[in-house]
Structure 1
Amino acid sequence: MVGSSLPRRALGRRLRGFRMQAEKSQLAAGLHIELSPQSIGRMEDGQKVKICTAQIRDLLDFYEVPDPSRERDEVFLLWQEVKDQQLAAKLAGTTKGWWQAYTDQYEPHFDHYLGLEAVATHLTTHQVVLLPGLLQTAGYRRAVSLAGDPNLSADALERRLELAAHRQVRLVDPNFRVNFLLSEGALRHTPGGHPVMANQLNHILELIGSRPNLSIRTVPLDAGSHLGLLAQAFTLLEFPPLASHLAEPPVVFVEGYEGGLYLERTDMIERHRRVIADIQRVALSEDDTKQLVQQIAKEYGA
């Protein structure tokens, strides 16, 4: 959990809630504790900001959070977790997550996603065009990267392959459950050509049924109407309880060509849970998925 953003994210969310309840602006909050409004915003977004315990206490007073109260106690429990994590990171010799060594190889919005993926205990992803990074072979990843930037240098391409391989290490973690819901269309698109896709499909065949923490199911093109057609591609990430035993809410990540969207509202999470249930209703079983993947792999010369 060293480098995890979860305690900071939880602390920021609670402080934002108290600020909005008190009808205070970020400017007013920043002036009260001698921070810029931008720093208040970053803190509320779960980013690192230089702040001390006294400033946290002053903010709670400014927001009129009762003392003593359960709400105030929860904030200080989270603040203690943040400080403990900072100390652990310092002792470990790093204050950054491993993925931040590759920031030159992904878009800025994806940094937050990688931090969340690194600490999630359950991930459900629905993909309709491209296969998710956690399943991609080196050949597939190479083809997708070059499609996005044909002039990508050999060194940059190699670093992207390293990043993808590092992410996939988590698949062997029995405490990390992953449900892949893949449109048949994602299996039929051929970045890199038929040989690359045949190798990619063989990799998926090796994974199907190989680990109890992984589930790979396909939604056939003739599945009929289901909510996945409307929701399209998204990933639901769920997290372990914090050390303070406070629950950390799930996040839905939606990535587009121009950036990423992080959804945290309870109603949005529940809507996507309903989408997942409806996709699972029409998805093939793992055995039938294996047969379909084998069939498509043969078509591509595997």
Structure 2
Amino acid sequence: MPAEDSTSARRTLGQKLRALRKKASVSQAAAARVLGISTQTMGRLEEGLSARSASDLYMNTLCNLYHATDDERRLILALASETRRTAQRGGGWWQPHLDREIGDFDPYTTLEDQAIRLTAWAIIRLPTLVRTPAYSRAIAWTDTPNAPTDHTEERVHRELKRQARLDDPNFTAEIFLSEAALREEWGGPAVMAEQRQHLTELDQRPNVSIRVVPFTTRNHIGALLGSFTLLEFPMMPKSRMTQPPIVHIEEHIGDLYLERAAEIARYKSALTELRNSST
């Protein structure tokens, strides 16, 4: 299967379908029988390898079988629709933050949970996985200054829960920071002092590497790029195939997911240059 034939929307759809099936205590074989497909095809659907089974008819049938809520059904149908669109385009997914079709479900978090390796370049804001609570709170206040306090605290809580990925010894994080990311005083000097100490402690972990590209580095590729994250994935248990990597670019109004082989190669090349430029 070529890399261009796999989409991040398809992967998130498969993960969500698998989670709903397990919650309903339905076997994969039983779900396949209801749809009239083979267990192998059902497994490919859940592993994000097949778009042909992502019809609204199949999705509604599975939602009925799994006793999905109205919100869960809307999410499944929205992801299935995006899966079909991205299959026609040949890959790539732009997911606007203002598109509420998929509710509070975060596609990026789903992909991050599945990844075995994360490599990131950050210019101004630190990646979520390495933020302190105070730093996360300062970011949230800046991003949505009029949000109720409980909404802000829930956002911070969700971000802190994601940091459990760093506790998995099989997960590797390599993070490159522009010096600007350490000098921008989110929350003030005390918050940043605590944050810098936290980064130093994280860098001592065997599966975490945090390096800085100083201002004095000349003509480095990072100056031409926005912040981005490369996610790489392990072998899938059923098909024994490895999902192609994905580059995630977070913008103020939405997220872009890149997956074409040529796109990934460009970003991997940029990371090699950043690795050579960092200290």
**TM-score bin (small chain):** 0.5 to 0.7
Equivalent position amino acid for 2:191 in 1: V
Aligned length: 215
TM-aligned CA deviation for residue 54 of structure 1 = 8.5
| 1:255 partnered with 2:254 | no
TM superposition outliers: structure 1 runs of 4+ over 2 Å: 13-16, 42-57, 72-77, 79-82, 106-110
For 1:293, the equivalent position in structure 2 comes to none
For 1:224, the equivalent position in structure 2 comes to 218
Say which of 11, 35, 44 aligns to 1:78: 44
The separation in 2 between residues aligned to 1:261 and 1:81, in whole angstroms, is 21
1:38-117 aligned at under 5 Å gives the runs 46=13, 75=41, 78-79=44-45, 111-117=106-112
Change over 3 Å in CA distance of 1:221–1:207 after alignment to 2: same
TM-aligned CA deviation for residue 75 of structure 1 = 4.8
Change over 3 Å in CA distance of 1:162–1:232 after alignment to 2: same
TM-aligned CA deviation for residue 113 of structure 1 = 0.4
Verify the 8 A CA contact 2:6 2:244 in the aligned structure 1: no
The separation in 1 between residues aligned to 2:113 and 2:186, in whole angstroms, is 27
Verify the 8 A CA contact 1:180 1:215 in the aligned structure 2: yes
| 1:128 partnered with 2:94 | no
Q: Which segments of 5 or more consecutive residues in structure 2 lack a partner in the other structure?
A: 22-30, 49-61, 67-71, 73-96
The separation in 1 between residues aligned to 2:173 and 2:261, in whole angstroms, is 21
TM-aligned CA deviation for residue 152 of structure 1 = 2.1
Equivalent position amino acid for 1:267 in 2: A
> Which structure's CA Rg is the greater one?
1
CA displacement, residues 36-77 of structure 1 (integer Å, 9 cap, x when unaligned) = xxxxxx7697466899668686xxxxxxxxxxxxxx997565
TM-score, with length taken from structure 2: 0.67
Q: Secondary structure at the match of 1:187?
A: helix
Say which of 208, 223, 246 aligns to 2:241: 246
Equivalent position amino acid for 2:111 in 1: L
The separation in 2 between residues aligned to 1:191 and 1:126, in whole angstroms, is 18
Verify the 8 A CA contact 2:32 2:42 in the aligned structure 1: no
TM-aligned CA deviation for residue 257 of structure 1 = 0.8
Q: Secondary structure at the match of 2:106?
A: helix
For 1:214, the equivalent position in structure 2 comes to 208
The separation in 1 between residues aligned to 2:226 and 2:13, in whole angstroms, is 28
User: What percent of counterpart residues are identical?
Assistant: 36
Verify the 8 A CA contact 2:120 2:230 in the aligned structure 1: yes
Change over 3 Å in CA distance of 1:276–1:45 after alignment to 2: same
Verify the 8 A CA contact 1:14 1:75 in the aligned structure 2: no
The separation in 2 between residues aligned to 1:185 and 1:80, in whole angstroms, is 41
Q: Secondary structure at the match of 1:179?
A: strand
Q: Root-mean-square deviation (CA), in Å? A: 3.5
Q: Secondary structure at the match of 1:131?
A: coil
For 1:176, the equivalent position in structure 2 comes to 171
Verify the 8 A CA contact 1:220 1:283 in the aligned structure 2: yes
Verify the 8 A CA contact 2:128 2:159 in the aligned structure 1: yes
Equivalent position amino acid for 2:128 in 1: G
TM-aligned CA deviation for residue 232 of structure 1 = 2.3
Change over 3 Å in CA distance of 1:234–1:14 after alignment to 2: closer
The separation in 1 between residues aligned to 2:36 and 2:217, in whole angstroms, is 53
CA displacement, residues 240-275 of structure 1 (integer Å, 9 cap, x when unaligned) = 111120121000000111101000100000110000
TM-score, with length taken from structure 1: 0.62
The separation in 1 between residues aligned to 2:247 and 2:211, in whole angstroms, is 20
Say which of 275, 278, 282 aligns to 2:273: 278
